Every structure is written in C-alpha cells, then in structure tokens.
Structure 1
Amino acid sequence: MSYLVLLPHIRIENANAVAGLTWGFPAITHFLGYVHALSRKIGPEHGVSFSGCAIISHEQYVQAHTSGRDWLFALTRNPLTKEGKTAPFNEEARMHLTVSLLVECQGEIANGEYGKKVLCSWLKQHCQGQKLAGGNVVSMRDPHIYEASDNQKQLRQILWCLMPGFALYDRSEWLLEHHRTLQHQDRNKTLLDAWLDFAALRYQANLPEEGDKAVWEYQPKPMPGYLVPLMCGYQRISPLYPAGEVANARDTTIPFAFTEAVYGVGEWRGVHRITDLQPLLWRYRTTETGYYCSALSVSDDLTLNDDDDFE
C-alpha cells in the first residue's frame, strides 16, 4: 500500500437498507463494489488502483415508521395500472446516510503534490457520478491523499477529518470463539446458533416468587460492544455452469453459478477510540467457492450462508 485516500462525508440518498437477513445498513459488498468501480476507472488514467476500504458512518436515517412495537418500511406508492388496479411491486427499504471511506491506494502518483491535486479533483467528480449501495451520491467533501505510514501525527489528522463518526470493525473471530464455547456445552450447536446470539435481541422471563408476574430481563450478547450482524459476501451453492448455459443470466459471456449470502459479525466503535487504521480496512477474500469481505485473515469457518446448516 502506497497511499491512503480519504473520501470524506459522502451523502447518499435512497440507499438500500436491506442486506440479506439484516437491515439498517448496506452490505459490505456495496462499499467494496463502489471502490472497485472507481479503481477500474482510475487505473487507465492515473496508473493507480484501489483495494480495501474502511467504513465510517456519520449519520443514517432509515425510512421507516413504528406504532411503538414493530417497524414498517415507508414504501412508495406506484401509479395504478391501465386496468385501474394497484401495480405489483417488490418491497424496497431505503435509507439516507453519510459515510466516509478510507481507501487503500496501490501504485505511484506522478508529479508529486500537483499529481495528488489532479487525482483529488478526478475523485471529487467521479465519486458523485456513480451510485453507492443503490443510492444517489448528492454531495461530498474534498478528498485527501495521505502517505501510508504509522505516523501518529498523520493518524490524528485523519481521525480529525472523520469525527464525529463510528468505524465498522470485523468481529468474525468472536463468532468462531463463541461457537467453540457453545460446542463445549452442546456438540449439536452450529454456527447459526452462535450467529443468532449476536444477531437477535434476547429477553428472559424471571419469576421472583411463584404466582408473581414475570419480569423480562435483557440478555447481553456474548461479547461487549455495539455488535451487529453483517452481510459480508456470497458463497456458491451450485456447480459452475459454462457461459450461456443458464437461461436468463444477466451476462451470457462468462460462466455462471448460483450463490447465497454470507453473514458475519461487526462492531461499531467511536472514531475517537481508534489507535490503528489497519484493522479497519475491509478487503475481498476469494476462494474456489465464493468471495468474502473481511478485515481479518480468517478461515472459511467464520462465514455463514443461507443453506440449512449455515456452515
């Protein structure tokens, strides 16, 4: 890694708020896909490439409402059909959010400071010209480019630009650790059971004395922190078919495989608590059976998919 490119305070409207079984924040694949699309455009012009990125959330607002118990998404009303009937539609959950992306930049930027200014100007234009998480980028602050180093003064400069905000950490190793603990108690426990302990809100009824009303108490998650379930990739669930063999495929020129979502665990942590940027950088990790988004060097056992066993 040669540089760190900061894309600060990107305001997005009508982004996708649902990611597989989770909702409330776009999937990690949205952000890495956004960076990958920029990398494909910037390479031929400037001779650099983008790889991983850190995700910092400043503000988010899910378009939903509640009556006090259940939340419902605020959906659009589509025009009637020519027969005067309600048009069918798929439920689309949307949200507005403001995020900053800290991107790994590989390569050499020519012409020193002048080259950096040209690259920042290019980014300011093109970052607002493509969608992020299905939403429209309506504004962003001026990008910055930093030398990749362990300089604490530079770290403070970057963190100052990111405040106030919350950074997303990869906590998939906690999922594996909790799964091992469950299996010591019951060998039939699966990764799904472990993941649900992080994803679900659990309450337990306690009876002070027989005949009294039950007192419902919140059960804490297996680890401390603001932990959230994440969709972090895709995994193949079928053989790899030759190009053009599967009907209605979007691209008939490349091989095709059916996939399902992969899930993990993340933690939101305040920017003021960051002491190292490396654990924040999410990257693609590809295998023969799928691709995953991870900020750690983890094994395939740390990912969950949508099949019956979640293993």
Structure 2
Amino acid sequence: MITTVVGSYPVITKKPETIVEKIKNFLGMFDEYKYAIEKAVIDQLSAGIDIVSDGQVRGDMVEIFVNNMYGFEGKRVIGKIEYTKPIILNDIKYTLKILSKHGNGKGVKGIITGPCTIASSVRVEGYYSDNKDEKLIYDIAVALKKEVMAIQDYVKMIQIDEPILSTKLYDLDVARKAINLITKDIKVPVALHVCGDVVDIFEDLNEFNVDILDHEFASNRKNLEVLEIIEKKVGFGCVNTKSKKVEDVNEIKALIEEGIEILKNNDNLKNKDVKEFMLIDPDCGMRLLPIDIAYNKLKNMVAASKLIG
C-alpha cells in the first residue's frame, strides 16, 4: 500500500556553522530552512514513506502562500489577489535533490493551501467585501492554479488543503467551483484534504473534481461512514496527529483493516481491489508534535501498512 504524509513536519533549523555558511549569513544568503527540509525529508524516507513532502517548514499553511502573493500584506488583504512567482517550487526542487541521493525512486507531493481556507484566515481591508466574497475566493483560486501549473512537472501528486470546509462556514458550491478551477487539466493526481468531521458534507465532497479525498479516521472514527459511499480514492488518515501517544503497529493495522472491510461493501468499488483505492497517511500535519513522536508515528504507520495481507 502506498504511504504518504499530509504535509507539515516539526521544524528543526540550523544556525550557520562553517566559514562559508557564516559568510552567506553575513551577506543575507544563508537559508536556515534548508536544513529543516533535509531533516523532514530524510526522516520521512527513513520511516519508509513513499511520497514525501518538503515538511512545509517556512511557516504555517496560510503564511507560506499569502507572503508570496500580490494583494496581501501579511494576513491582511489590501488589494486584488494576484500570482507573482512560484511559491513552493524551489523547496520541491530541493526535496528532489535530496531524494536523488537517498530516495530510491520515491516521489514528492506538492501541497497547496486551498482558497477557502486562505480566505477564512485573513483580514479583508480592501478591494473585496469580506472573507466570504466569491471574488476573493476565485481570485485566490486563479493564483493557486498558476502555482499548481508551475509545480506539476516535478511532483507525483498534488494535495489541496481545505480544513475550513468541515466547519460548514463556507458555501460548498463556491468551494467546489474554486477547487475545480484549480484542478482542471492537471496532469498528476490531485487530493483534497479536509480534516474534521466530514460525514454531513461528504456527498458534496464526492462531487469535487479531484482524484483522492483525504480525511482523518484515527481521531475521528465517525468518518469511517464515508467509506461506504466514496467514489474516489481515499487518503486514509490512520494515526492521530493531535496526540503525543505513538500508536502501536497493531492498533494502526486494525484501523486500516476496518477501513478496508467497509470499502468492500461500497457499491462503487465492486469487483475491485479496494487496497488500491487507499493511500495510507497521518490524520493531518505533524508540525506541532515533538520530532521523535512524529517520526515514530510515521515509522509505525509504514510498518502497519506492510502487514496488510
């Protein structure tokens, strides 16, 4: 079974140590986050993850994007949102460089924060009416579409993070149109990650133009219900990223097997190998966990996936 991550990893930065690094730091050219990316990628590879992330180390999921788009000043909207340059491409390329040395052919996931989640996290001071202005959401989507086009040749898959959707604060029809704008004609598989309780909105999520729906099942077992009606592949979150407890391999294996048994009863997947419709991953990002806890959760998750017959 293919294993991956939802995105973020604990951030371990490095101060300049060598003479060359100190000179670069003096000249403002030293990048303390390169070590954090390397640590995140190597830990994921060591744990056995198949499709890794760059660790999303440069800030929270919103900051990474709003800090690099025109129309934002920090998390304030002051003008029309526009795309100016690739945002995560350089970190993806650096991740690929690390993989070329250590990765044994494994791939990278490009991770984009979705338009509704970005809109919900900023203060609108100009150009748009408020956080739910459809023009704001669609303009963010247009910018994100250009970002996806910029990275798609370098990644095995793309993930769009829209955690805000489970709160029901945003119109799902608007959200669907925005996501569909981003995913149209993309050459690699696209996952939509929505954490929280998705049972009540799942029929709508099934209509989004994505290949994979990614949800949390370890910390929100009620979500297992959606496996009875899912029409796409499922990103199966099977370790709880809100808890510092490292789940036992057999505990994780049992949850994955429970998910498989439910998928076998899904009429949309009759006569198909349901294990091919599952990607195994954590519930959500791991940025806030101690690094040893995050690593051991991934390691046990991979071990559990390999025990599935």
Check whether TM > 0.5: no
Aligning the two structures, in what range does the TM-score lie when normalised by the shorter sequence?
Answer: 0.3 to 0.5
Which of the pair has more CA radius of gyration?
1
Q: TM-score, normalised by structure 2?
A: 0.33
Higher strand share: 1
Q: TM-score, normalised by structure 1?
A: 0.32
Higher relative contact order (CA 8 A, sep 6+): 1
Higher helix share: 2
